[in-house]
Amino acid sequence: MSHKIAPSMLACDFSKLKSEIDLINKSDADWFHLDVMDGVFVPNISFGIPIIKSISKYSKKSLDVHLMICNPDLYIENFKAVGAEILTVHFEACTHLKRTIDEIKNKGMLAGVALNPHTNVQNIFDIANEIDLVCLMSVNPGFGGQKFIERTYKKLDELCDIRSRENANFLIQIDGGVDELNGKKLINHGADVLVAGSSVFNSKNPTEKIKNLKKL
């Protein structure tokens, strides 16, 4: 299976959102990655349901919504209503993770679990066969443009081992500091989805950057 590229819209120019959406639609990208931050779970506020509804209106690709928020269970139905196809919650934000995952899947979405850089990947073990995606944060969540955490490779190897031992089928997504320099190594270590924000939208030619990431 070819790896997927999910440009993070957090890094786009919101003053020209429609043209940025069109750019992704016409590119080799597979998903729109949408980071929702509440200013509590992470020290930043990004965007929410109205913006995602607007993106959904014009998007021709799947919406991959990453909730960096407290109490995500309260909003599952709302994100489904505005077009989310993949909904990822943080392990650290869910008191009853299995219940949250079941609710996401019951609403007809793919269910993902994100792990902060210093959260042990073994926490995924008991739900390995219940989830569709694991998002490894390779920076501390909250802000774009951060430096990639090198220990991510070791965690990726450990997660691939869990996937193999449990005969699970979840995709592994890497989010934070991803570019062409580390992207190939991440794929070689077992990553299925690369989230790229600043490296795409801060480049002189975002379409070409996405194409290069896709060819890795």
Which residue among 38, 64, 132, 175 is the active-site one? 175
Question: Is residue 35 annotated as part of the catalytic site, yes or no?
Answer: yes
**d(Cα 138, Cα 85) in Å, to the nearest integer?**
23
Cβ neighbours for 16, distance < 8 A, ≥ 6 positions apart: none
- Counted residue by residue, the chain has a size of 216
Environment class of 57 (CB within 10 Å of its CB; exposed 0-12, middle 13-18, buried 19+) = exposed
Question: Is residue 175 annotated as part of the catalytic site, yes or no?
Answer: yes
- Tell how many helices (H) and how many strands (E) occur in the chain: 8, 8
Which residue among 35, 38, 64, 132 is the active-site one? 35
Return the SS3 of 157.
Answer: helix
**Tokens standing for residue 176:** 């934070």
**Tokens standing for residue 199:** 């490296």
Q: Active-site residues: which are they?
A: 35, 175
